[in-house]
């Protein structure tokens, strides 16, 4: 157990971090308890790599989560008995505390991005799967009957009718999953994967509280979540034009 704990980045990396220098055009950074925006802007390079890492973690785990949840949804489509099984299984995973899940995975997959992405992907399954399944159930009974009656096979009904009609629910699921992943991915630092957790925990909490880093890391995370959300909304407008159209 002790061996495991020493793998925690906080402990493992203790001492790696050098306090930001107090010089430069703005020197309010000397006081850790104030938020020093000027310094944060002057040192913009500090945030770029963690932000890109974070983007990668979120994109990769949401994409992988979607791919797996989509596969599960196709598998359980038309096999109703599988649905509670999948919802139950993904639900159990969802309840595992994230740091615990990282610790469980560390000995198996090692430190780094892969471990973090696996954990984050597992967390996404529940939300995305549930939404895909709900969305697939959206087809009006009359449309389903008309589709069959006109000679659509079950596969054609699924791909040409059910899935397009499920797009709004699927995107709603992706939005929730993405926003929560942006938040949870700040803990990926405990799997040694970097990201904004590097800013918030390593720079912000090392030795002493460094408020500027905590606030900057959080602001970037919030901005990232908002941008992702806007992308989804725009995407849905393009994919599901029928949804925004109102009856005259």
Partner 1 sequence: MEGTRPTEGAGEAVSVEFRDATKRYPGAAAPAVDGLTLDVPAGEICVLVGPSGCGKTTAMRMANRMIEITSGDVLIGGSSVRERRPAELRREIGYVIQQVGLFPHRTIAQNIATVPALVGWDRERARARARELLALIGLDPDMADRYPSQLSGGQQQRVGVARALAANPGVMLMDEPFGAVDPINRERLQNEFLRLQAEIRKTVVFVTHDIDEAIKMGDRIAIMRQGGHLAQYATPAELLMDPADGFVEDFVGADRALKRLSLMRVSDVDLWQAPLAHVGQSTAEVRAKLDGAEVPYALVVDGERRPLGWLSDRNLAGATVPQSPDHSPDPKVEREDVLRDALSDLLQAETRYAPVVDAEGRIAGVLSVEIVSEFLTSDDARVEEHPAAERPLG
Binding interface with partner 1 (CB under 8 A): 140-153, 156, 161, 164-165, 167, 240-243, 245-248
Residue with tokens 């992308």: 231
Rounded least distance, CB 246 to partner 1, Å:
8
Residues 6 or more apart whose CB falls under 8 angstroms from that of 96 comprise 104
Quick one: which of 84, 79, 62, 77 has its CA closest to 136? 77
DSSP 57-119: HHHHHHHHHHHHHHHHHHHHTT-TTHHHHHHHHHHHHHHS-HHHHHHHHHHHH-SSHHHHHHH
- Taking residue 4's Cβ as centre, other Cβ atoms within 10 Å add up to 11
Rounded least distance, CB 168 to partner 1, Å:
10
Rounded least distance, CB 162 to partner 1, Å:
10
Of 29 and 171, nearer to partner 1 (C-beta) is: 171
Of 97 and 241, nearer to partner 1 (C-beta) is: 241
Rounded least distance, CB 158 to partner 1, Å:
13
- Taking residue 95's Cβ as centre, other Cβ atoms within 10 Å add up to 7
Of 152 and 205, nearer to partner 1 (C-beta) is: 152
Of 18 and 245, nearer to partner 1 (C-beta) is: 245
Of 110 and 235, nearer to partner 1 (C-beta) is: 235
Rounded least distance, CB 172 to partner 1, Å:
16
Cα–Cα dist 242/161, whole Å: 13
Residue 213 to residues 150, 199, 220: CA-CA distances in angstroms?
61, 6, 11
Query: Which H helix or E strand runs over 205?
Result: helix 204-205
Dihedral of CA atoms 177, 181, 183, 185 in degrees, nearest 10, equals 170
Rounded least distance, CB 161 to partner 1, Å:
6
Of 36 and 163, nearer to partner 1 (C-beta) is: 163
């Amino acid at each position: 157990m002790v061996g495991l704990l020493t793998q925690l980045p906080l402990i493992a990396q203790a001492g790696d971090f050098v306090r930001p220098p107090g010089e430069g055009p703005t020197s309010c950074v000397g006081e850790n308890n104030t938020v020093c925006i000027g310094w944060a802007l002057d040192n913009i390079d500090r945030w770029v790599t963690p932000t890109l890492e974070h983007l990668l973690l979120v994109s990769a785990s949401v994409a992988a989560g979607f791919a797996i949840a989509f596969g599960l949804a196709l598998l359980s489509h038309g096999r109703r008995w599988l649905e509670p099984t999948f919802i139950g299984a993904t639900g159990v995973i969802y309840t595992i505390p994230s740091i615990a899940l990282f610790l469980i995975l560390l000995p198996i997959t090692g430190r780094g991005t892969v471990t973090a992405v696996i954990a984050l992907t597992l967390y996404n399954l529940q939300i995305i799967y549930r939404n895909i399944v709900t969305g697939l159930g959206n087809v009006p009974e009359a449309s389903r009957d008309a589709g069959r009656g006109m000679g659509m096979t079950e596969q054609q009904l699924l791909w040409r009718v059910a899935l397009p009609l499920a797009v709004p629910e699927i995107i709603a699921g992706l939005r929730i999953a993405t926003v929560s992943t942006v938040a949870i991915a700040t803990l990926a630092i405990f799997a040694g994967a970097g990201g904004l957790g590097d800013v918030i925990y390593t720079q912000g909490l090392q030795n002493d509280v460094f408020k500027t880093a905590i606030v900057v890391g959080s602001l970037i995370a919030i901005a990232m979540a908002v941008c992702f959300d806007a992308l989804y909304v725009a995407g849905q407008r393009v994919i599901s034009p029928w949804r925004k159209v109102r009856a005259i």
